[in-house]
Structure 1
Amino acid sequence: MKDGIHPNYRDVCFVDQSNGFKFVTRSTMGSKESIKLEDGREVPLIKLETTSESHPFYTGQQKSIDNLGGRVEKFRNKFAGFAKK
């Protein structure tokens, strides 16, 4: 490999701001902030709005639009006459 043309690929800590969940993985993302891990390493810190630990789809809290009190049926009944014109 040529020197100086590849991005810096290193360990980075990602933190979910909604619940504080942290995970370390390798990435080329840069950050001005850093965090000291339990093992003594200091790695760049990337803050995330949501991760698989807080997203409703992965936590099982996602709601289906059909289960919200028959809204879809109300809409279809209300506007059914417009489609027949």
Structure 2
Amino acid sequence: MKKEGHPDYHWITVTLTDGTSYKTRSTYGKADAVLNLDIDPRTHPAWTGGTGQLLDRGGRVSRFNNKFAGFLKK
């Protein structure tokens, strides 16, 4: 394989929202870069089992439901 065809793969530090951090290998930034996460598995509802409610901003969900109301009903 061509050596110049591969990205630089190096060690970085990932810092979670609660301040904990870990080292991993990545192509992000330069060697020893720090990646600060705004959303991580400790705070995101997808991993924490959040409320699961869908926010209807601007009536988009309501319009969709009205438009396709009879589509799947038998």
TM over 0.5: yes
Q: Radius of gyration: which is bigger?
A: 1
- % identity of equivalent residues: 31
Give the 3-state SS of the residue equivalent to 1:65 in structure 2.
coil
Write out the 4+ residue segments of structure 1 that deviate beyond 6 Å after TM superposition.
Answer: none
Q: Which residue of 2 aligns with 1:63?
A: 51
TM-score (norm. length: structure 1): 0.50
**CA RMSD, 1 decimal:** 2.8
TM-score (norm. length: structure 2): 0.55
Unaligned 5+ runs, structure 2:
55-68, 70-74
Structure 1 residue identity aligned to 2:4? G
Q: Which has the higher strand share?
A: 1
Unaligned 5+ runs, structure 1:
35-42, 67-82
Alignment size in residue pairs? 56
